[in-house]
Amino acid sequence: MSVLTNNVQAQSVNPVLQYTVSMPNPESHYFHVELNCSGWKEETIDFKMPNWMPGYYQMMNYSKMVENFVAKNDNKDLAVTKANENTWQINVTKNRPFTLSYDVKADKQFVANSFLDTTHAYIIPNSLFVYINENLNIPVSVKISGMKEGMKIATGLESIKESKTEFYASDFDILYDCPILIGDLEELPSFKVKGIEHRFVGYKLGNFDKVTFMSNLKKVVESAVAVIGDIPYKEYTFIGIGPGQGGIEHLNNTTVSFDGNGLDNPDTMTTMMNFLAHEYFHHYNVKRIRPFELGPFDYDKGNKTNLLWVSEGLSVYYEYLIVKRAGLINEQTLFNNFESSINAFENSPGRNYQSLTQSSFETWSDGPFGKQGENANKAISYYDKGPAVGLVLDFAIRKATENKKSLDDVMQLLYWQYYKKMQRGFTDAEFQQACETTARISLAKEFEYVYTTKEIDYNAYLSYAGLRLKEQVDYDSKSKKYSFQFLDTKNESQQKVFYSWLNK
């Protein structure tokens, strides 16, 4: 990109923000951050650190990790006032360039935290780069300085003039959507889907059959793309940040905890493909097909929505189907996947207390998987009930349309109507409307499973595909165990529905 001017000019009218990140003492786990700022017309400026990152719906209070915040103008220190926990207010001379610098502690290894040690660095931009209050739309550049020899960078950010260490974001939403991984990284041979490059780059990938892994991953991407039919990015990067738990989705990349050791075991490979299918499908479902409330992001207060059960729960639903449709698992494994979600939900005492919409809204206080400890019986996880309701909706739509339409058509409608055409998210009512438009009937009865705690009548829906759920009670543990079975006789129509569900 060539929109950046490296020479600061006093008469420049557009603000220019240039970040430089260095790691002088990686063993101390501190990043050093400098911001060169010019072309700013106000005299009082509020710099803010986000409190959270989209994709991880918890207050992270990143500003707590910031130390030694200094502002300078013409080599003179400027007064810095802390307006609140995550806001630094400075007074500058109009139109004169100035510099900020601060250190960020990064000693906790987690997918939603920045981390630094002598071997590698992982940057969550939301925890490293302050923005100017109410000015998220300003372009920004980031330079990584003082990297050890042999180290490489993986990020979804665009390079400046093909530089390996300087990057550009058209605004802060893009910057905050692109984590940066630095270290002795390994890149696996990339693949193309519909002519578009997909890469897998990571730190400490481990020993495994990398050719089979990438061939499986390509099938997963193709199968996910087939649900929507369109690829909205120029390039996509899977970024493996090392062993650990969890992943976070972005528009053109995902950062995933990854340990390839053990992938030679077919079950471990299947679990990994499910995980990657889930994170990858999110680039549609939540990043583009999104709840109305999830944009623009409020990096201060968070964005509460009733619809995380769609963004997360239906991503679990599709994760299961994508891996099956990719030909990587058999029917029994697909059933086992659904059984694990249904059994977890049906045995959670919170299922009589909290609806899907409530669990979505309350996640900021309940935690990522619902309340824990002594209040665990007051909450459910939308990761478990979401795919169960996905089954109900998919089969209700198939039944109403004689299998001509499915939940896939709902996802496509949301993508084209709200993301592409209206460029906004959908409301609760609009999601139900999209399902009903596709089904051409009212689905009020089915949406009771979304808005209330009404017991789910699975078999009323599964029978349409010649399936049923058998319930067994384990009297010792007082738990229920559900398992998928085929109906004794399956007619032609049930066969057809079953195979079109599995194969798209």
**Residues lying near Zn ion in the complex (CB under 5 A):** 312
The answer to whether 171 and 139 are in contact (CB under 8 A) is: yes
Min separation Cβ 305 and Zn ion, Å: 14
- The smaller minimum CB distance to Zn ion, of residues 208 and 361, is found at 361
Question: Which is nearer to Zn ion, 247 or 466 (by Cβ)?
Answer: 247
Q: Alpha-carbon distance 427 to 448, whole Å?
A: 17
Least distance from Zn ion to the Cβ atom of residue 360, Å: 13
Closer Cβ to Zn ion, 50 or 386, answer by number: 386
Question: Which is closer to Zn ion, CB of 177 or CB of 312?
Answer: 312
User: Which residues pair with residue 253 across a beta bridge?
Assistant: 237
Q: How far is CA 475 from CA 232, 351, 479, 480, in A?
A: 51, 20, 7, 9
Give yes or no for a contact between 358 and 384, defined as CB atoms under 8 angstroms apart.
Answer: no
How far apart are CB 220 and Zn ion at their closest, in Å? 15
Q: Which residue's CB comes closest to Zn ion?
A: 312
d(CA 338, CA 470): 13
- Considering beta carbons, is residue 280 or 458 the nearer one to Zn ion? 280
Please say which residue, 302 or 466, places its beta carbon nearer to Zn ion.
Answer: 302
Q: For tokens 């129509």, what's the residue?
A: 493
Q: How far is the CB of 318 from Zn ion (least distance, A)?
A: 11
Q: Report the side by side order of strands in the sheet with 115-116.
A: 115-116, 120-123, 180-183, 152-155
- Closer to Zn ion by Cβ: residue 275 or 451: 275
Q: How does DSSP assign 45-96, residue by residue?
A: EEEE--S-BTTB-S---GGGGEEEEEEEETTEEEPEEEEETTEEEEE--TT-
CB of 223 to Zn ion, least distance (A): 17
* Nearest to Zn ion of 383, 501 (CB atom): 383
Residue (103 or 312) nearer to Zn ion, CB = 312
Nearer to Zn ion, 98 or 176 (CB): 176
Own/partner long-range contacts of 446-453 (Cβ < 8 Å, ≥24 apart): 446/389, 446/392, 446/393, 446/396, 449/356, 449/389, 449/392, 450/309, 450/355, 450/356, 450/357, 450/389, 451/355, 451/356, 451/357, 452/355, 453/351, 453/352, 453/353, 453/354, 453/355
- Calculate the alpha carbon distances from 428 to 52, 58, 318, 433 in Å: 24, 22, 20, 9
Q: How far is the CB of 312 from Zn ion (least distance, A)?
A: 5
Smallest gap, in angstroms, from Cβ of residue 249 to Zn ion? 6
Q: How far is the CB of 315 from Zn ion (least distance, A)?
A: 5
CB-count burial class (<10 Å; 0-12, 13-18, 19+) for 465:
buried
CB of 294 to Zn ion, least distance (A): 13
- Give the nearest distance from C-beta 228 to Zn ion in angstroms: 17
Neighbours of 44 (CB within 10 A): 9
Cβ-based neighbour number of residue 328 at 10 Å? 20
Q: Give the closest residue to 378 by CA, choosing from 348, 356, 357.
A: 348
